[in-house]
Amino acid sequence: FQWIEVSSYEQMSEIAATIFAEQLLSKPDSVLGLATGGSPLGFYKELVRRHQEEEFSFARATTFNLDEYVGIGPGDATSYHEFMNENLFRHIDLPETRRHLPNGLATDLDAECSRYEKLIGESGGIDLQLLGIGVNGHIGFNEPGTPFDSRTHVIELTEATRQSNARFFDREQDIPKKALTMGIGTIMAARKIVLLAFGDNKMDAVERLENGAVTEEFPASILHKHPHVTVIYGK
């Protein structure tokens, strides 16, 4: 574990952008694992800025996002597809055919999960995975209790998670009830992991990640078993 304490959100974003830029410079055809949410917003902004200064290219890269809601997809403002288009994909030279998110509109969701998992394998596996962390220790949409060996699967969103995501939806009934997420086993198979946690409300989770037991009740704790994790955190 490498722990990097930062004094600002901008500093966290810059350090993360440097790690990803170095990854792309040393291996232009890297497979990158990406996340949505508030934690990586500044990171994407910084990555786009540096890319536009031609520091590095995404032309040969491949990306896989952690998760997507069931029932919404490309074109829906609240989908993770759209989040990625808006904050990253629209601004970089990554070919559309190599931007991957689980398809929450698939008619057979289990088949979609297998397809996604297989695609990650066929791409050579994830070189560098970006993560945020939930206040309950979730990574991806893997809530407490998710088996450590899980692969991409369908999950029912807990009421707490639905409420914390409610701000993005106009109407209560629009908040999805399910999502597709890489499993904890999928995440652990990534060669390197960078986890971002910023703000007062994340500090309990960071403390538990640092000092707590490895238990399925706190999904991120499994990262102690991973050989190459960098946690960038601060408040």
Site for ligand F6R in 43-72 (CB under 6 A): 66-67
Q: Binding to ligand F6R by residue 87, rule CB under 6 A?
A: no
Q: Which of 102, 104, 134, 183 binds ligand F6R (CB under 6 A)?
A: 134
Q: Which of 42, 73, 102, 140 binds ligand F6R (CB under 6 A)?
A: 140
Q: Are 186 and 117 in contact (CB under 8 A)?
A: yes
Q: Which of 30, 39, 79, 152 binds ligand F6R (CB under 6 A)?
A: 39
Q: Binding to ligand F6R by residue 126, rule CB under 6 A?
A: no
Strand order through the sheet with 178-181: 67-69, 178-181, 153-156
Number of H helices, E strands in the chain: 7, 10
If you search the block for the tokens 């809530």, which residue do you land on?
Answer: 143
Q: How many angstroms separate the CA atoms of 34 and 157, rounded?
A: 20
Q: Which of 15, 19, 37, 55 binds ligand F6R (CB under 6 A)?
A: 37
Q: Binding to ligand F6R by residue 137, rule CB under 6 A?
A: no
Least distance (Å) from ligand F6R to the CB of residue 188? Answer: 15
Least distance (Å) from ligand F6R to the CB of residue 197? Answer: 8
Q: Are 179 and 69 in contact (CB under 8 A)?
A: yes
Q: In the complex with ligand F6R, which residue's Cβ is closer, 66 or 113?
A: 66
Sequence-separated (6 or more) residues with CB below 8 Å from residue 3: 210, 231, 233
The distance of Cα 99 from the centroid of its chain, to the nearest Å, equals 14
Active site residues: 67, 136, 138, 143
Q: By the criterion CB under 6 A, which residues form the site for ligand F6R?
A: 35-39, 66-67, 132-134, 138-141
